[in-house]
Structure 1
Amino acid sequence: MNLPHHLLAPSPSASTPASALLLAQQLAAQFAATAAERDHAGGTPKAERDAIRASGLLGLSIASELGGLGANWQQTLLVVREFAKADSSVAHVFAFHHLMLATVELFGQPEQWQPWHEITTRQNWFWGNALNPLDERTVCKRFDGWQEFSGQKSFCSGALDSQMLVVSARQQHSGQLVVAAIPTGRSGISVQQDWNNIGQRQTDSGSVNFEKVRIENNEVLANPGPLTTPRSCLRPLLAQLILTNIYLGIAEGAFEEARHYTLHEARPWRAAQVDHTHEDPYILGHYGEFWVGLESVRALTDRAGNSMVAALARGEALTQEERGEVAMHIAAAKVAATRMGLNLACQMFEVTGARATHAGLRLDRHWRNLRTHTLHDPVDYKLKELGEWALIRNYPTPTFYS
């Protein structure tokens, strides 16, 4: 069961990107205390979301002149990773909030996204996702001065308990993708509490229904629109980079839980003929493998994050080739994070032992969260993209997943 609001210890608000990371570590420690219990319960991490609201971290990636903390994306992703160590569901909804803020900036015009960013910092708005371009059940009808969405979207992470949604639909006749930003509470929008998957159980990634929802033309992100310029094509790469950092954070959290259990709870195997588990050479060998894997993925992920920051700084001058380089950095990091994370989350039981499988510990949640999340899009296709680059120097064609 989720903790009541008053049981979450108050934390000071962040004022700089550096203080944001320290504050995130404080909040993560609170979230970790109930992560296993809340994983069992599922539903909405309402108290945790409200703690993030009160912290000022919803404005982390928003420019300082608009009231935010002015963090670049590498700084923002370090906070995401910190949350993921403790609770990957909270990290997911927090990261997707910032992804939606980036979406309106990359797909829209300053006169659209700047007011949205500013009011987000003033009123601690949480943004949710109802974009999912692969789900084409939502249809858009065009009228004079406005448009109308009707249908359903799946995998709508963070839509519940949000103030704004980024949504999409297909034009009824042309099939063109229309992306817009609208209030979650608008008439005709119904957020369904139908998410009950094995992992990421508090991301509220269920469905949203649209019944004749009016979309004003100034809410449509049409200029430059989705995936029309190299800069706007950074948006799917940012989503991939977010997932990579969450995978890494989950692996780091699993490592720390395994390490604590090995040092304080696990008993040495009789055949090892040692007094303490940490003296077992096979246990030490596993931890050596874990550490090499984590260090490798950290290096790849940080390189990818820094390349994203550099690409965003290029603005409209960004070229297709420069965008392609960022895509390759992120794909390599994502493949490595997927493989290393799933292996660590499974092999951690080799270093903790049979008692660590007690259901109350829910140490399997790390594997379940990763397994659920890493199916977001098949890693085989990331390897295909990397192979095409390695062999014939072809960059991937920009899509919402590459």
Structure 2
Amino acid sequence: MTASTLQRPDDAPAVPASPSLAQVLGPGLDQLADQLAATAVQRDRQGGHAAEQRELIRASGLLALTIPEAHGGLGGGLPEFYEVVRRLARVDSALAHVLAFHHLQLYGVSLYGGPAATAHGARHLRETAEQRLFWGNALNPADTRLTAVREGTGWRLEGVKSFCSGALGSDRLTVSAATDDGGFLIGIVPTRREGVQVEQDWDAFGQRQTDSGTVRFEAVRLDDDELLQQPGHGPTPRATLRSQIAQLIMTQLYLGIAEGAFDEARRYTATRGRPWFASGVDRAVDDPLLQHRYGDLWLKVRAAQAVAGEAIGRLRAALDRGDALTARERGEVAIAVAEAKVLAHRAGVEVSSQLFELTGARSTAAAFGLDRFWRNARVHTLHDPVDYKLRDLGRHALEGRIPDPTAYS
């Protein structure tokens, strides 16, 4: 299946004017969350490409959330962005992931220093806002099979990229490729460009609608003015904040899963739960052991919320520093983000798993779909090993050492 079969026709009707930030973050976001929740259990069973729901996201105006107002966007900052990701993840962490990675690519356009960012970045952002373009990811740094060969005034891309979140059904792709001299480049490629083939081969047991399949590139043209990062040019400390934006996306997704699982479990206990015969109470909510366990799970969620909020503040301040940001300051942000991610990881996995001990055997019926929270958490928390976050935190606690900037730290 090629990307061209999934795009809107070129003669699609004109895009209506975007709503205001207040409208999007108010009734617009509530409406979208309700729409996704209404079909979440069924779609989780089906998997595949949620084309209809992605169009709901497009119509909501959220694709322009983080684009500056000067470029036609809504001008939302990190707090608004992460709040949207977390709220949608409560009901549908797969599509929350797709939307989050769309904005991760847009942040990349603003952070990198190549021609596509410095000379043409405003155009890319403006087109995205005006046309409500969806961006996908083909940047996976752990997959180095995509190569770039110099050809005239541009590059020829050959190879594949895996785990390409949001690629299926996208309009633009951010790609990374290895060059002959051992370097790498990052650029922007329209998904419908000749030679780009997006495959629908994502088959994990969780996060089933993240459109994270494989993208194949066969003699795909990449012009110099489409480069976000040129070969031989290392990123500045500010540019390396992209990985911290990504890590906090994971954090908010895990946290949203934990919140959603907690809310669903609590609702089930209050409306359907039956007290154990030895409890001596008539209602499940009056069982002292259930009360104890819910209190314990809530503390896991609450701790993750608090530390995540602090990490967002630190990242926001670092972005505001601009080119004055130092390597040390960037490292302190990475530590704060690691703390938040580890706690959200634990909250997501533990709440989504332990909820069944509180809701009982009847809650495992397929109609409720409560298992989707655990499956989504379990798959997504494997994005990168949490043990290396703990190692970084231990090094910092013992010696004040900050993490080396990578695509994951």
TM more than 0.5:
yes
Contact preservation (8 Å) 1:152, 1:208:
yes
Equivalent position of 1:89 in the other structure: 94
Corresponding residue for residue 14 of structure 2? none
**Amino acid across the alignment from 1:102:** Y
Helix, strand or coil: the match of 2:275? Answer: coil
What code does the residue aligned with 1:261 have? Answer: Y
- 1:216 maps to 223
Structure 1 residue 181 and structure 2 residue 188: aligned? yes
Q: 2: CA distance between counterparts of 1:298 and 1:79?
A: 14
1:25 is displaced (CA, Å) by 2.2
- Paired residue for 2:54, among 49, 52, 58? 49
Give the SS at the match of 1:86: coil
Match in the other structure for 1:264: 271
Contact persistence 1:13–1:23 (CA under 8 A)? no
Aligned residues: 391
In structure 2, distance between residues paired with 1:134 and 1:227? 18
Distance 1:317 1:63, change over 3 A: same
- Specify the SS of the correspondent of 1:170: strand
Asked if the contact 2:184–2:232 (Cα under 8 Å) also holds between the matched residues in 1, the reply is no
Deviations 1:120-156 (A, max 9, x none): 0100000000010110111111022010000010000
Residue 378 of structure 1 corresponds to which residue in structure 2?
385
- Specify the alignment match of 1:5 in structure 2: none
1:150 aligns with 2:155: no
- CA separation in 1, counterparts of 2:68 and 2:347? 34
Tell me, what secondary structure is at the counterpart of 2:228? coil
Which of the residues 119, 126, 129 maps onto 2:134? 126
CA displacement at 1:65 relative to structure 2: 0.7
- Cα-to-partner distance string for 1:269-289 (whole Å, 9 max, x where unaligned): 111121000000011011101
What is the Cα-based RMSD across aligned positions, in Å? 1.6
Q: C-alpha offsets along residues 87-126 of structure 1, whole Å, 9 cap, x if unaligned? A: 0011000000000001121113332211000010100000
Match of 1:32 in 2: 37
Aligned equivalent of 1:80: 85
* Amino acid of the structure 1 residue aligned with 2:317: A
Aligned counterparts, 1:309-328, within 5 A: 309-328=316-335
Amino acid at match of 2:402: Y
- C-alpha separation in 2, matches of 1:114 and 1:52: 23
The alignment partner of 2:396 has SS state of helix
User: SS of the counterpart of 1:372?
Assistant: helix
Matched, 1:393 2:387: no
CA offsets 1:306-351 (integer angstroms, 9 cap, x no match): 1111111111111111111110110000000111211111110111
Alignment correspondent of 1:102: 107
Moved more, 40-49 or 246-255: 40-49
Aligned AA (2:279): A
Higher mean alpha-carbon deviation, 199-208 vs 26-35, is at 26-35
- Normalised by the length of structure 1, the TM-score is 0.95
Residue 225 to residue 100, structure 1, CA distance change in 2 (3 Å): farther
Determine the structure 2 residue equivalent to 1:66.
71
Q: Which amino acid aligns with 1:305?
A: I
2:359 maps to: 352
Amino acid across the alignment from 1:152: V
Give the one of 238, 244, 251 matched to 1:237: 244
Aligned sequence identity (%)? 49
> Counterpart in 2 of 1:9?
none
Distance (Å, rounded) in 2 between the aligned partners of 1:316 and 1:36: 45
Structure 2 match to 1:117: 125
Q: Which residue of 2 is the match for residue 138 of structure 1? A: 146
Note the residue ranges of structure 1 that are not aligned, 5 or more in a row.
1-11
Amino acid across the alignment from 1:117: L
Q: What TM-score do you get using the length of structure 2 for normalisation?
A: 0.93
